[in-house]
C-alpha cells in the first residue's frame, strides 16, 4: 500500500497574509511530500496488517525494530500534515458554533479561554512539535502537545492540530511563534473541526 499526497484544498497563496505563500509552498511541496516519500520508501515491500494510517501509527511498537523510528517520524509527519492542511482555510469563520462551541465552553470556560490555553501550550512546546485539541475516550476536550512528528492518537480523537515547527512560521514570523499562534485563528477551518467532532 502506497500513501499519497492529498491535494492542497486551496491555492498556495490563499492563506495570505496569515500564512505566506512561500511558507505554504515549501511546507507542502518539500516538507510534507518528503515525509510521504520517506514513509513509502520505508514501507516498500513490507507487509502490514493495518488498513489505515491511524492504525499504523497506533501500533508502531509492532513494527520491525529497524522501521519504528522512521515510520514514527515520517508516518507521523505525513499524517499530521494531511490533517493540518484541511484544518486551515482562507474562508475561516473565526469561531466554532453549535455543539462544538458548547463542548469548548464546557471544558475551557469560554472560547477566548480555550484560545489562550491553546496558544500558551503551543508556545511552551519546546523545540519542534504540535499543539492539539483532542477528545479523550471520556468525551472531554483536552489540549495536548507532541514533540517532533508524534501524534496524539493515543490520547484520543484529533479535532484540531497546529504545527509549531519553525518551518511553519519562520519566514514570516521569524522567532515570534506567539504571533503566529495568535494569527492562526483567522484561518482555522471550524467547519472541518466540527465534522471531526460530530463523527
Ligand atoms: Mn510542518
Each residue's pLDDT tens digit, 128-175: 999 999 999 999 999 999 999 999 999 999 999 999 999 999 999 999
pLDDT at 1 over 80: no
Cα-to-centroid distance, 170 and ligand 1 (Å): 11
pLDDT digits (tens, 9 = 90+) for 39-64: 999 999 998 999 899 999 999 999 99
Q: How far is the CA of 27 from the centre of ligand 1 (A)?
A: 6
Residue 188 DSSP class: B
To which residue does cell 484540531 refer?
Answer: 160
Alpha helix segments (H runs only) across 140-199:
170-173, 177-184, 190-198
Q: Ligand 1 centre and the CA of 87: distance in Å? A: 13
C-alpha cell at 24: 505554504
81 CA distance to ligand 1 centroid (A)?
6
**Is 66 buried (19+), middle (13-18) or exposed (0-12) by CB count in 10 A?**
exposed
- Distance (angstroms) between ligand 1 centre and the Cα of 53 equals 18
Computed over every residue of the chain, the mean pLDDT equals: 97
pTM of the prediction? 0.96
Reported as type and span, the H/E element at residue 129 is strand 129-135
Looking up cell 515549501 gives: 26
What is the layout of strands, in order, in the sheet containing 157-163?
141-147, 129-135, 157-163
Q: What pLDDT does 18 receive?
A: 98
103-135, pLDDT tens digit by residue? 999 999 999 999 999 999 999 999 999 999 999
CA of 21 to the centre of ligand 1 (A): 14
Per-residue model confidence (pLDDT) at position 35: 98
Cell (9 digits) for 165 = 515547527
**Other CB atoms closer than 10 Å to residue 85's CB: what's the count?**
19
State the DSSP H helix or E strand holding residue 132, giving kind and residue range, or none if neither. strand 129-135
DSSP secondary structure string for all residues of 60-121: GGGS-HHHHHHHHHHHHHHHHHHHHHHTB-TT--SS--HHHHHHHHHHHSSHHHHHHHHHHH
The Cα 187–Cα 195 span in angstroms is 16
Amino acid at each position: 500500500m502506497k500513501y499519497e499526497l492529498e491535494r492542497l484544498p486551496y491555492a498556495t497563496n490563499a492563506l495570505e497574509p496569515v500564512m505566506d505563500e512561500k511558507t505554504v509552498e515549501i511546507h507542502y511541496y518539500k516538507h510534507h511530500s518528503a515525509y510521504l516519500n520517506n514513509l513509502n520508501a520505508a514501507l516498500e515491500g513490507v507487509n502490514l496488517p493495518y488498513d489505515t494510517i491511524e492504525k499504523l501509527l497506533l501500533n508502531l511498537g509492532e513494527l520491525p525494530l529497524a522501521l519504528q523510528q522512521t515510520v514514527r517520524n515520517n508516518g507521523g509527519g505525513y499524517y499530521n500534515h494531511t490533517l493540518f492542511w484541511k484544518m486551515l482555510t482562507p474562508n475561516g469563520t473565526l469561531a466554532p458554533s453549535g455543539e462544538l462551541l458548547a463542548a469548548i465552553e464546557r471544558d475551557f470556560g469560554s472560547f477566548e479561554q480555550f484560545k489562550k490555553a491553546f496558544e500558551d501550550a503551543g508556545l511552551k512546546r519546546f523545540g519542534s512539535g504540535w499543539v492539539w485539541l483532542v477528545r479523550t475516550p471520556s468525551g472531554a476536550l483536552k489540549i495536548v502537545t507532541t514533540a517532533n512528528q508524534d501524534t496524539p492518537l493515543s490520547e484520543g480523537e484529533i479535532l484540531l492540530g497546529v504545527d509549531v515547527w519553525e518551518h511553519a512560521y519562520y519566514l514570516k514570523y521569524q522567532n515570534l511563534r506567539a504571533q503566529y499562534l495568535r494569527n492562526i485563528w483567522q484561518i482555522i477551518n471550524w467547519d472541518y473541526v466540527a465534522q471531526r467532532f460530530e463523527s
